[in-house]
Amino acid sequence: MALAEFLNTLDELAKQATAQFEAAADAVSLEAARVEFLGAKSGRLKDVQKGLGQVDKADKPAAGKRFNEVKQQLETLFSAATKRIANGGCVETASDFDPTIPGKRPVLGHLHPITQTIEELVDIMGRLGFTVAEGPEIEDLWHNFDALNIPLEHPARDPLDNFYLATAETMSGQNKTEPKWMLRSQTSTVQIRVMEKTQPPVRIISLGRVYRPDTADATHYPMFHQIEGLLIDRHVTMADLKSILRLFAESFFEDDVHVRFRPSFFPFTEPSVEVDMSWAGDWIEFGGAGMVDPNVLRAVGYDPEEVSGLAFGLGIERICMRRHGITDIREFYKNDVRFLHQF
Ligand code: DAH
């Protein structure tokens, strides 16, 4: 046999064996490739070796040398493939792997600080017997105003202070009608929705977004969150209101929180108060509260002679900001992960 022919056969075999060793995806296919090419008895390399005897005498040294090189090369490839499969497909060789180097911590996402606060508030109020109620963010004027004892001429209904929704109806032609829908400006709407559907006693909280066309600054944002509370039963008093708010604040802020009521006015409560809280320093206003106005009870078909109620509405951003020492409400909604990842 001519040397060229022998070398051709050898190279062709090397090419096929290399491809198969590199492609082997698991131990079983690698072993099959090993038997096919490197098998001691009937492997294809063995067959080629037999052909060595027929090579012209003068070319034998060259043929033998090349044969040994290929054999060596295939054995190296085979052991690399064995390591690769043992490493779970990782090409890195075992010697590169240093088990003492600390691992890389995967970056996990987590809940937005406002969501975390909401979950905690739900948890605390749940322990005080309050269940969560929900209402729509697109609300009608009855639930946002009328049923809450906010009459037509009340300044709280000013279009400059509310996001009324333009609909085909309100926009059509000359006969523009009053708006029917708005983005709710307060979660007090949910009080009405719950009372319309249930009979006393009622003990709910509602947490969610509200909208007001305020210019964004450090303490204002056109969308923010409130937690609303409502308790209706026989003989509910202001004392209940104050104890509930105090228990709630002490659980959340984990401190000896004092609650102060300042006289105020809300159309849906009588009497009405602003709720301030204080611990380790100044008094901070968190929202409003009061005893549910008899007009509100009547609007949902309750008898004010039979039942009374307490209600409160607090700003969730404010609660969260105080908890974490955040000084600008806009930080919550910039979605800057450097800020968000701190909580
Ligand atoms: N809805 C009021 C606001 O957004 C807050 C509020 C005050 C809620 C008194 C109440 C309440 O339930 O009793 O400013």
Same-domain pairing of 153 and 281 = yes
pLDDT surpassing 80 at residue 178: no
CATH number at residue 118: 3.30.930.10
The closest of 286, 293, 200 to 245, measured between CA atoms, is 286
Number of H helices, E strands in the chain: 12, 9
How far is the C-alpha of 142 from the C-alpha of 144, rounded, in Å? 6
How far is the C-alpha of 270 from the C-alpha of 294, rounded, in Å? 8
Q: Which residue has the tokens 């037999």?
A: 50
Same-domain pairing of 15 and 78 = yes
- What distance in angstroms lies between residue 207's CA and the mean position of ligand 1's atoms? 13
Ligand 1: which of 186, 210, 291 to mutate, most ligand atoms within 8 Å of CB? Answer: 186
**Which of 31, 61, 93 is a domain's end point?**
93
Same-domain pairing of 240 and 271 = yes
Domain count for the chain:
2
Same-domain pairing of 286 and 258 = yes
- What distance in angstroms lies between residue 315's CA and the mean position of ligand 1's atoms? 10
* Mean pLDDT score of the chain: 92
Same-domain pairing of 176 and 42 = no
**Which of 58, 93, 128 is a domain's end point?**
93
Residue pLDDT, tens place only, 68-85 = 999 999 999 999 898 888
- What distance in angstroms lies between residue 113's CA and the mean position of ligand 1's atoms? 23
DSSP string, 169-186: HHHSSS------EEE-S-
Same-domain pairing of 58 and 132 = no
Same-domain pairing of 180 and 289 = yes
Residue pLDDT, tens place only, 146-166 = 999 999 999 999 999 999 998
Confidence of residue 296 (pLDDT cuts 50, 70, 90): very high
The Cβ of residue 293 has, within 10 Å, a number of other Cβ atoms equal to 21
Same-domain pairing of 157 and 299 = yes
Same-domain pairing of 194 and 61 = no
Which amino acid type is present at position 3?
A: L
pLDDT surpassing 60 at residue 92: no
How far is the C-alpha of 331 from the C-alpha of 71, rounded, in Å? 66
Residue 101 lies in a domain: no
Same-domain pairing of 69 and 186 = no
Q: Which domain holds residue 66?
A: 3-93
Same-domain pairing of 227 and 193 = yes
- What distance in angstroms lies between residue 109's CA and the mean position of ligand 1's atoms? 34
Q: Which residue has the higher pLDDT, 198 or 176?
A: 198
Q: How many CA atoms lie within 13 A of 299 on its CB side?
A: 22
Ligand 1: which of 266, 291, 293, 319 to mutate, most ligand atoms within 8 Å of CB? Answer: 266
Predicted local confidence at residue 91, as pLDDT: 61
